[in-house]
Amino acid sequence: MHQHHVDVAPGIRLWVEERGSAAAPPLLLIMGAQASGLGWPDELVDALAEHHRVIRYDHRDTGRSSWAYEERPYAITDLADDALAVLDALDVRRAHVVGMSLGGMLAQLLLADHPDRLLSATLIGTSTLSTAPYVHPDGTTTPPEELPGIDPRILDMWANRPTDLDPGQELEWRTEHWRMLNGDGIPFDAEAARAMERRITEHTGHTRISMAHGRADHSGMLRTDELARNEVPTLVVSGPAEPVFPPPHAEHLAQVIRGASLVEVPGMGHALPRQVLEPLARAILAHTGA
């Protein structure tokens, strides 16, 4: 395991970790909004590292990377450029990319704008950057903006997030947040969620929160035509208990990305509890190995 920092833009330094053989095919993990790279469980990273040089990193305004949004505001598309900059800093010409939630949207931007840098893409718990409608099994269609939305309980948590919590209260808020993101398909393990958040807090060095990714400019992200022309092998992971991008978002994603395949991980929501790690690793490795 090798940890270091890389400079990706003026005044922006990202924490990066590598696991696995340096000679193995590179695999870049891209986490979701406001999420440290430690959001990828070690058990999953280690399973992937048996076959890959696995690279994970902290986005700007998370973990040990630069917290500089107030001085240097940015767009979400800049976070996709950061992912490329990480590969450049490590002299990686092409990589398998696995993105979750916002990370899945950033992976779509890479698919569309830099397909020559990708060996494959895996998209988890995310929605499409396409205006193409969802086609139901009976042939009827639904515009993407009319597909099921985020669980109202999660929206309420986000809208009413306290900013004056002590570290213990902050830990409990984050644990309850994971309870909601876990969905109803798998029993929620509160102590495992607390342990993960304690590791992230120790890694970060504080419990402050940044809303930078929510405030960042979200414009210019649609890639309808580019995704329809996609030639990069793409896997879409479907979580039947997904509360942020509920079914059929994954099915829609597999429709609008040319050549994409779909795999369901039983019970999966918008989180990575222990029960999903083995089937998820198996699906990713089958995809990258193909």
pTM above threshold 0.95: yes
| Residues 7, 40: Cα–Cα separation, whole Å | 22
Backbone phi, psi, residue 25, to 5°: -60, 130
- Amino acid of residue 27: L
Q: Look at residue 39 and tell me whether its pLDDT is greater than 90.
A: yes
Element (H, E) at 118: strand 118-124
Percent of the chain whose pLDDT exceeds 70: 100
- Strand 134-135 versus strand 141-142 pairing type: antiparallel
Domains of the chain: 2-149+212-289 (3.40.50.1820)
| Residues 68, 97: Cα–Cα separation, whole Å | 26
What are the tens digits of pLDDT across the range 132-160?
999 999 999 999 999 999 999 999 999 99
Element (H, E) at 81: helix 76-89
- Per-position b or e across 16-30, b if 16+ CB within 10 A of its CB: bbbbbeeeebbbbbb
Give 209's pLDDT tier (boundaries 50, 70, 90): confident
What are the tens digits of pLDDT across the range 226-270?
999 999 999 999 999 999 999 999 999 999 999 999 999 999 999
